[in-house]
Amino acid sequence: MRPNPLPPAPELRTARLTLRPWHPDEAPAVLQLIEQDRARLTRDFPKTTRAVQDEASARVFIEIWDADWLIGKGIQFGIWPQGAEAPVGFVSVRNIEWEVPKAELAYLLSRAAEGQGLMHEAATAVIDWAFRTLGLERVYCHADPENQRSAALAQRCGLRREGLLRNNFRGGDGLLHDSYSFGLTRADWLAGSTESA
């Protein structure tokens, strides 16, 4: 059931990170985040890489995410390490279906920030917020079988591999790709949080 009204778009803090929606004046930072890894990201994030081509289109990208939150469709959190001026990635809760309610988790981390556990820290904070504040009953994500880091992260965050979706998305290379489907229920998340407390 959709909260009425929706809570304000939050700022989440973890031990090492600040997670918050983008501000319109951060279009250059969004552009830089995409540009530094564009060749690597194009295959798996074709919509994002097509949408963000210059500062003007990066600003529109931010405005669309702002509008998505206002209508309850989704939210994107930029990821800033504490004290850093530049973001290192983002975590999105998108395609919210309030009648369940459920949503898709998507995440992107710059290559320079990999291997430090930052995305695990960011994703678990966002998942916890989605279950506790939004009241979602299910969070799911998709990962390309060739992207072992992404699949491993989903499982490390507690999502279970539920199947293989064949020809599930068209990558930036123009080809159809399979994806693993991962899912996590609110009950499982809260039980795990209680056990680890």
Does 159 have pLDDT greater than 80? yes
Domain boundaries, the chain: 12-196
Q: Sign of dihedral through CA atoms 15, 193, 155, 42? A: negative
Mind listing the pLDDT tens digit for each residue in 8-20?
Answer: 899 999 999 999 9
Buried b (16+ CB within 10 A) or exposed e, 130-161: bbeebebebbbbbbbeeeeebbebbeebbbee
Would you place residue 197 in the very low, low, confident or very high pLDDT band (cuts 50, 70, 90)? very low
Find the mean pLDDT for residues 82-96: 95
User: What are the tens digits of pLDDT across the range 101-120?
Assistant: 999 999 999 999 999 999 99
Q: What is the pLDDT of residue 195?
A: 55
User: Which pLDDT belongs to residue 8?
Assistant: 85
Q: Is the pLDDT of residue 3 over 90?
A: no
Q: Which CATH number fits domain 12-196: 3.40.50.720, 3.40.630.30, 3.20.20.70, 2.40.160.20?
A: 3.40.630.30
pLDDT at residue 126 is higher than 90 = yes
What is the pLDDT confidence band of residue 7, given thresholds at 50, 70 and 90?
confident
For 176-196, write each residue's pLDDT tens digit: 999 999 999 999 999 987 555
What's the pTM value of the predicted model, to 2 decimals?
0.94
Question: What pLDDT, on the 0 to 100 scale, is given for residue 132?
Answer: 94
The pLDDT value given to residue 2: 83
| Average pLDDT over the chain, rounded to an integer | 94
pLDDT tens-digit map of 45-63 = 999 999 999 999 999 999 9
* Overall average pLDDT of the 118-126 stretch: 98
What percent of the chain clears pLDDT 70, i.e. is strictly above it?
98
